[in-house]
Structure 1
Amino acid sequence: PFALGVASGDPAPDGVVLWTRLVLADAAQLQAAHTVRWEVAHDARFAKIVQKGEAPALPQLGHSVHVELRGLAPGRWYHYRFMLGDAVSAVGRTRTAPAAGDLPDALRVAFASCQRWEHGQYAAWRHLAADQPDLVLFLGDYIYEYATPKNASDLARTHSLKLATTLADYRDRYALHKSDPALQAAHATCPWAVTWDDHEVQNDYAAGAGRDDTPHFLAMRGAAWQAFYENMPLRATSLARPFPDTRWDALQVYRRLRWGRLAHIHLLDGRQYRTWQACRTPDSASAGAVRGGACAELADPARTYLGAAQEQWLDAGLASDAAAPDATRWSVLAQQTLFSPRHYPSGTVTTDNWDGYPAGRARLLQSVARHAPRNTVLLGGDIHQNYVCRVHADADRPDSPVIASEFCGTSISSRSGTTQDKVDAVARHNPHVLLARCDLRGYGIADITPERWTTTL
């Protein structure tokens, strides 16, 4: 029953979320609720059990299990497992965050995104587990909604699932990805904090609009969002209403994680509240790119990537970080994609990332510049390439002050869809880009101390 592995997430000083999802064989089991036992211990042999209890696995939530632990000691590692009848899950390892006033010597954060099944094996997850991070930030595209392409000759592997549109489809897609032993090992290594991008629902969707008629799209989006919650180690506070009264027209995905006084992580949601992509036709399959001068919508100051409420929430968080610099050494903005501009030699502008929302980016830059937290770092994914950038106060003026650093990580398996020659040409055209590579798959590791941030891509 534990064939999809175990996971933990969103560590706090006194607890963490434990997760699993049952795989059940016959129809009667699938229709029934089950009671899962869980244990937390100081050791992998469970000789020193700290807490234990029971949790429901309900068919209405795909037989997923979310246990929100409280009362644990801050800043220490634990082991956990689940049991159903005689069956025992794999053992997971998790940890709590440091106490609020503590200044840890070090924090190792892995950040990753984009793991299309057909495009490659998950060797990166095996390597990440060996790197023993304290925390994994997953920045979007945990699944891809597509069916296997008809021409599978150049694919690393295939699957038999159809294009995902229903709750059953999305549940099956998560089960496919979570069947991979390397991904399971990474989940069992340490706690994760997850956000989403577009492929958890549909390519390039924006808030309440996709490439289908609105009622059909909203039903599909609700199914996809429910499956996301079911399959991720998220707290119940992410639900708009407590189960069973939950409605799947919203999920609270943006949130903060504090790592003592060392780091304050602002985990963002770049999908749920954004404006429709500039100059995109309603029924188009993707956002695409436009000529900057031919798309007046790009310059509309009302356009937003994060939405007004999230912008205000982030501004308040950065102000809080800056007001007590001794309480926050590093302000981390963990979000979906490349934040810094890519000015293409051709003059085209890609509209699904921050380049398509220049006014929203300018407001975020103004927020960082106005509050001036002690050290600001942006993390991203989505583009299937490694980028390292200086973040200037004015994105269009390379002579403006540098106010932050950016590390945008490549994909776990998804192809880049470009060549290094083209990427080199973009880098030459953008002096704030310090490194740009499209030829490598993997993840990023950030080793953070009170004095230094070191990223290994």
Structure 2
Amino acid sequence: MTHSSHQEELRDAARHLGRRRFLTVTGAAAALAFSVNLPAAGTASAAELDGRKIRENPFTLGVASGDPLPDSVLLWTRLAPRPYESGSGLPRARFQVRWELARDERFSRIVRRGSATAHPEFDHSVHVEIKGLEAGHVYYYRFRTGTWTSPVGRTRTAPARSARTSSLKLAAVSCQAYHDGYFTAYKYLAREDVDVVFHLGDYLYEYAVNAVGGARNYTDRKLPAHFHRETVTLEDYRLRYGLYKSDPDLRAAHAAHPFVATWDDHETENNYAGDIPENGVPPEEFLLRRAAAYRAYWENQPLRTPQQPAGPDMKLYRRLQFGSLAQFDILDTRQYRSNQAYGGGWHKPGPESEDPSRTLTAATQERWLLNGWRTSRATWNVVPQQVIFAQWRDVPTGAFKLSMDTWDGYPASRDRVLKGAEAAGIDNLMVLTGDAHVGYAFDLKKDFDNPSSRTVGTEIVATSITSGKDGSDRPGSWNNQMQANLHMKFFNGRRGYAVVTLGRKQARADYRTVSAVTTPGAPVATAASFVTEVGNQGLTPA
């Protein structure tokens, strides 16, 4: 984040908070910049130990890659011999980690190698940015420390910016509550032939996980007592990532594909808005928690250096391009939003929710999005983000309510985005969404209150990996929602993920679902498939 961008975001915050409270919060934020230590230089920092002193496998959390660029990949791992323990079973010392990047899985054609330092201040996580690579190319990678070698990961660079790529296949995932079931969907995603995976939020949940793993109902082991409480401190969040990443199916998906990650609320706290917590604690106290959550998120995701947090602030919105076929504008609709209207939940829209000053993105991010569209030459402009963008009524009567946590609670913000897309001449707009714990397909309308209004884009809502437990094909609200939202083309309540194939003439969305998550090993099926044509937006069954 540039200094000017940071100042603009502070001004955005000031407008929403009021002067006295703003000064209190920003003072706390400044103090937080020093409340979580960064790796120090020279001899004053932690001692350095040889990797040979690690007596147990340190690569229990696997490997990952992320944010592919045409000439660069980001590789990630974290040393954690005992991920369920504080400190992960390592002393507060630095360890050298060697890495290798090759053209083949056997590493007979190594193209790059080097070393990185695993700092205790970053919980021994490693982020390696490798540059100077071939565009649109598959690579394999691994890490070593001492006598230990990590699993092999597979990644790929993005196509060159000018490349006329004929197709791109992506997956969209979200909402993986460990305590709601097994990550079986990831086992199947690891086998998919996709170029990139977009994680749209709720990578973990802050809620307590009991000794038997909630709905996983373990009979052969017990989880330690420190998982039985809500995450609040940096140690809490770090341990929770260790628990989640111990799942073999999640590790397999990360090793198979590069991920592009963005968060929603549960990585920090349910339904927080900017600096405003769910439970009314002082903003200074909540920002301490937010700083801890953001720090642990960066440590445990394949994110590049510009995303490294500073205290309670982290610039997660960013842009990726895949040749001339697709531009991805990844949003953060949580860190900068106005507070939910009417206390959140489902309400009849009114003056509070329809206040034109309300924003889900803040002015700086909104301007960045619209400016990026003005210069885009991509066939598809895709917006990976967190909460439902389309209008989403609960019942087909005049007594309908809307969710104040989604873009329905910020209609002026949505209107500005849609008008910005129209002004920029964006013909093929696609929004990728998580959060809802069901699969939806929406046509985006110029006027949602008029069913015959022009369709200006599409929205693919990926169901959850586990959140909501097993679910059903037709939840109890199916009839009401399908009748209330004529622009809704699909609604399924099972767990799974979405696969989207972008082409020069059309895009195709396939909704993959598993029959159960409360028992392991359920089969996967394609619940539905839709297409939308270039220059003729609107979802039709494939």
Alignment TM-score, normalising by the size of structure 2 = 0.78
Residue 8 of structure 1 aligns with an amino acid whose one-letter code is S
Q: Whole-Å Cα distance in 1 between the matches of residues 132 and 236 of structure 2?
A: 37
Q: Are 2:68 and 2:74, in contact at CA under 8 Å, matched by a contact in 1?
A: yes
SS at match of 2:240: helix
Partner of 2:215: 155
Secondary structure in 2 matching 1:223: helix
Shift of 1:24: 4.0
Query: Are residues 1:330 and 2:397 paired?
Result: no
Query: For 2:245 and 2:117, how far apart are their aligned partners in 1?
Result: 21
Deviation at 1:177, TM superposition (A): 0.6
1:201–1:221 Cα contact (<8 Å) kept = yes
Tell me the residue number matched to 1:232: 301
The residue number in structure 2 matching 1:415 is 468
Indicate the SS of the match to 1:397: coil
Equivalences for 1:73-84 in 2 at 5 Å?
73-84=134-145
The aligned residue for residue 435 of structure 1 is 490
- 8 Å CA contact 2:104–2:140 kept in 1: the answer is yes
Map 1:241-390 → 2, pairs under 5 A: 247-280=310-343, 287-293=344-350, 296-321=351-376, 324=377, 328-345=378-395, 346-390=399-443
Q: What is the 5 A alignment of 1:145-224?
A: 145-148=206-209, 155-157=215-217, 159=223, 160=225, 161=227, 162-210=229-277, 211=279, 212-224=281-293
**Which residue matches 1:445?**
499
The equivalences for 1:107-146 within 5 A come to: 107-146=168-207
Q: Which residue of 2 aligns with 1:5?
A: 62
Inter-partner Cα distance in structure 1 for 2:174 and 2:91: 31
Q: Show the counterpart of 1:405.
A: 458
Summarize deviations over 1:245-287 as a string: whole Å, max 9, x none: xx2221110001100011101111010100001021xxxxxx3
Distance 1:234 1:366, change over 3 A: same
Which amino acid in the other structure matches residue 318 of structure 1? W
Cα distance change of structure 1 residues 90 and 149 upon mapping to structure 2, 3 Å threshold: closer
In the TM superposition, what is the alpha-carbon distance from 1:447 to its structure 2 partner? 1.2
Give the number of the structure whose alpha-carbon radius of gyration is greater.
Answer: 2
Q: Percent identity?
A: 41
Paired residue type of 1:436: F
* 1-structure distance, mates of 2:183, 2:213: 19
Which consecutive residues of structure 1, in runs of 5 or more, have no partner in the other structure?
Answer: 241-246, 281-286
Q: Is 1:388–1:406's contact at 8 Å kept on the other side of the alignment?
A: yes
- CA deviation after TM superposition for structure 1 residue 209, in Å: 1.0
Q: Distance in 1 between matches of 2:430 and 2:509?
A: 11
1:20 to 56, 77, 80: 77
Quick check: 2:65–2:259 contact (8 Å CA) kept in 1? yes
Question: 1:398, CA displacement in angstroms?
Answer: 2.2
* 1:436 to partner: Cα distance: 1.2
Q: Matched residue pairs, number? A: 436
Q: Distance in 2 between matches of 1:40 and 1:99?
A: 20
Q: In structure 1, the residue corresponding to 2:313 is in which secondary structure?
A: coil
Shift of 1:154: 7.5
Distance 1:221 1:355 in 2: 25
Q: AA paired with 1:166?
A: T
Task: Provide the C-alpha distance between the structure 2 equivalents of 1:154 and 1:62, rounded to a whole number of angstroms.
Answer: 27
Which amino acid is the alignment partner of residue 66 of structure 2?
A: G
Deviation of 1:153 after TM superposition, in Å, equals 11
TM-aligned CA deviation for residue 420 of structure 1: 1.7
Cα distance in 2 for residues equivalent to 1:375 and 1:62: 42
Q: Distance in 2 between matches of 1:367 and 1:30?
A: 52
> Which range is displaced more, 86-95 or 210-219?
210-219
Q: 2:126 aligns with which of 65, 89, 95?
A: 65
Q: Distance in 2 between matches of 1:95 and 1:85?
A: 27
| Matches of 2:61 and 2:171, distance apart in 1 | 22
